[in-house]
Chain A
Amino acid sequence: MLTLIFALVLSLIVIVLGIVAVQHPKVSVAIIAAGVVSLFASVMYLLLAAPDVAMTEAAIGSGLSTIIFFYVLNKIRRQDG
């Protein structure tokens, strides 16, 4: 019962942050929201008894992907002046 309530709270947070990630006008907020969605999805993988997948998603989706987005955003903003 407790795991069901926990899963429900995680799913609600993931859906709300996903809507923020596509609708917010600033790009940097959208990138950080996508990184946090990936982090909560990693916790959901642990509830679904998949520790390998949780480790991979936390290291790649929430770490390296956000960093690469910010490198590109920085270079684009520099070119604008």
Chain B
Amino acid sequence: MPNSKTNEARIVPTRFTQIARQKPTISRNDAIEAGQSAVTELEPEYLDWVDGLLRALWSAVEKAGQDETFPNPHGEEAYGLSNQIRNLGATFDYEAVTHVADSFCELIHRLNEAGRNDAHAMRTHLNALRLVSTPTFKRDGEGELGALMGALRQLVDHYPEPDGNTA
């Protein structure tokens, strides 16, 4: 524990700041170009990654539905997995995946805050995620996204928005 009598407030040099300010540097534009190329090279792995996460998410949702304890560890696990899927969708421009996974995260967040469990709402989100995760949906189905999100929104809005709000 920090010493309560200490009132230290000073700039502490770190190896990071020392090296980062040395030359040669990489320009912002060069860094962005290199970084975007690096991300593009990973895109072929996207479908396998999402597939693995969906399988783990399915297991977590099933267990969460059978566990009435609070806080529900399987619900927390589902939140983390849904977060990962959301971030992958956003990284590789699977817009529908991002929106559905984000809705799933919000649902779990509200359920946790309310001390509730809703297996039906969670399974509905999971099935929606499986639907929108395919390249076929990305190519042909994103026009249907509005209707899908509207339906999911009704499930989420059944639970009050926590005081912290979503940023």
Q: Tell me whether A and B are bound partners.
A: no
